[in-house]
A = this chain, B = another copy of it.
Amino acid sequence: MPSSDTLRVDARSHGRPVAPSRSPWRPLGLDEVTLTGGFWGDLQQLNASTMITHVEGWLERLGWTGNFDAAVEGRLPLSRQGREFSDSEIYKLLEAMAWEVGRTGDADLDRRLRALAARVAAAQEPDGYIGTMFGRPGQRPRWSDLEWGHELYCIGHLIQAGVARARTFGDDEIVRVAVRAADHVCDVFGADGPQQGVCGHPEIEVALVELSRVTGERRYLDQARLFVERRGHGLLGEIDFGPAYFQDDVPVREATVLAGHAVRALYLAAAAVDLAVEDGDDELLGAVAGQVRTTLARRTYLTGGMGAHHEGESFGADFELPPDRSYSETCAGIASVMVNHRLLLQTGAALHADAVERALYNVVATSPAQDGKAFYYTNPLHQRTPGREVAADEVSPRAASSLRAPFFAVSCCPTNVTRTVASLAAYVASVDDSGVQLHQYAPATIRTELGGGRAVELEVSTAYPHDGRVVVRAVQAPADGWTLTLRVPSWAHGAQVTTGDGTTTDAAPGYVAVAGPAQGTHVVLDLPVAARWTWADPRVDAVRGQVAVERGPLVMALESVDLGTDVAHAVVTTQAPPVERDGQVLVPVARRPLPDVSWPFGPQRAASPAVTDLVPLVPYHAWAERGPSTMRVWLPVE
């Protein structure tokens, strides 16, 4: 088995967050794709300048980082701060730092990463166990609460931090800590180990597969398989939410749709894809792909958000997607990106890249405030009562509040956002032997190799999503020809591709493959991003008689600050398309007075007269940036 003495790190990963050993489309890493500006580049800058530091400061201030020092100094459990999963936030921050250092080489951040890693490393027990919540005198024994204890979950995030560091730097302290912890997990939970359970919150599984990819160690893969295959047989103890909450009701290869706690279901699905890929388990891959397709068809919000129930933070029934009570946890959006990216690489199905784009723009980007110092945990599509301002030094006690808050008592989302944003470049493109596939459109440079070591360097220029034109210029390209594959989003009816010779052809939604531009030339993709009305399938009863507005990949929202009154009073007319004017999207809205009633049900009432005028919408990701407001994505239709 690997140890700190023999550790080999796969240097070929190029800083890839996901590195399957086989895939029709090979992912590109952070040293192959650089975001050079635009929507995502700017968010990465905000992450670098503010979000990572913000999270780092809060973890310190709340004492969650200090738990590791307390462990070393024998001050646990008395001095312990935070919930049972607080260790994981430090690990996710370490992962974010690792991607960020890998992306930019920031020396100061690298120093902070090493210092933080050293504090974590100091708390590792001689046998490799690490965790501040269990196992000391006065604490419950290790592994005594697999249902809620989150011990393996935390170690999973530690391993992901190690994987990120290994892929962006190489062998390092946090990598060795992760390997020792993984070895310990295998000792304890292996086929012959004393523990034969699984963790209530999947995460260790996906982490172990990646660690196996990084180190080449089969043992981690085997352990991941044990965890995945054990699950669904009722090994976990009874909880109020029932076994579906943590996907212990049905084996993952037998499920037909994602269910239960959304983040748990999605992390498990990501692990199952990775496992299936490494082992050539096409049955498992097919099962998860089917579950995700059904989930996209029936259990996903317009925003790409997942999880309809506050109770159990879980998926609802098919088509049960209430906008005012959507949970749509930020972490579930991130987890959907993880799963769909993995399936995209394996299947080449555009709907997975569409899902990644939708969740990135409308869930992940919605969470952080424009100043990078507050985050959404839940992402409802309808806010009935104005939120309140959360003070800059206030911990929101309710993770599920629909307020951006500096931090939460359950604060999984801010750290998850930082690690995701730092590694965003990985979602832009992939390659195969014959060419490059562009999945997400952002100003970027792409440097990679096709089959036969043929170098290609592309420069992507675009103001997407504001503008629909994407220019892909070949700075360097193989002389013997290559293929450029471009994603046309599902909504982009009327897209066109113009090649270097000026030929323009229509491109239907899905992927369009064109001759790769010769060195020094370019290809232009024109996507029709004009604002459009979007309707829901009749089975989404909660938004019947309502319409949404989308512009390109952006879901739009109406806010009371623009309407001048509560959005409950708004009714739109849809005879004409939404108006675009001066960079704004406007829709004809009547403000219909709604009188007080003593009982809200009875004979049909005539609509009261109303004045209609054009009211601007905001991108959903930017809502609530101008003070407390009511908001709705789905607008009642006259």
Contact = CB atoms under 8 A, between A and B. Distances in A.
Interface stretch (A28-36, A218-226, A317-325, A423-431): A317-325
Contact of A541 (B320, B535, B602, B636): B636
B600 A539 contact: yes
A380 to B, nearest CB: 11
Interface in A292-324: 293, 296-298, 302, 309-311, 316-320, 322-324
A398 interface: yes
A537 B325 contact: no
A600 B545 contact: no
Contacts of A603: 532-535
B320 A316 contact: no
Interface residues of A, number: 62
Q: Which of A238, A297, A325: most chain B Cβ within 10 A?
A: A325
Contacts of A626: none
B351 A398 contact: no
B544 A546 contact: yes
A323 B596 CA distance: 22
A93 B542 CA distance: 39
A599 B316 contact: no
A347 to B, nearest CB: 13
Contacts of A324: 317, 320, 322, 541-542
Contacts of A601: 302, 534-537, 540, 548
B320 A384 contact: yes
A538 B325 contact: no
A576 interface: no
A490 interface: yes
B538 A636 contact: yes
A297 B310 CA distance: 25
Contacts of A599: 296-297, 351, 354, 490
Given A317-B324, A325-B322, A568 B539 contact: yes
Contacts of A317: 324, 384-385
A117 to B, nearest CB: 32
Copies in the complex: 2
A537 B594 CA distance: 9
A293 B542 contact: no
A491 interface: yes
A447 interface: no
Nearest to A550: B601
Contacts of A546: 541, 544
Interface string A497-535: 000000000000000000000000000000000001111
A268 to B, nearest CB: 22
Contact of A319 (B533, B534, B600): B600
Interface in A102-117: none
B397 A596 contact: no
A330 B435 CA distance: 62
A119 interface: no
Contacts of A636: 538, 541, 544
A536 B600 contact: yes
A342 interface: no
A598 interface: yes
A592 interface: yes
Nearest to A322: B322
Interface string A264-287: 000000000000000000000000
A630 to B, nearest CB: 10
A481 interface: no
Contacts of A571: 538
A24 interface: no
A382 B533 CA distance: 28
A297 B595 CA distance: 11
A594 B320 contact: no
A141 interface: no
A491 to B, nearest CB: 7
Interface in A557-613: 568, 571, 592, 594, 596-605
B537 A600 contact: yes
A533 B491 CA distance: 38
A534 B490 CA distance: 39
Contacts of A634: 541
Interface of A: 238, 240, 242, 293, 296-298, 302, 309-311, 316-320, 322-325, 351, 354, 382, 384-385, 397-398, 400, 490-491, 532-546, 548, 568, 571, 592, 594, 596-605, 634, 636
21 contacts: A240-B398, A242-B398, A296-B599, A310-B310, A317-B384, A317-B385, A319-B600, A320-B325, A324-B542, A351-B598, A351-B599, A490-B602, A534-B601, A535-B603, A535-B605, A537-B594, A537-B600, A539-B600, A541-B543, A541-B636, A544-B546
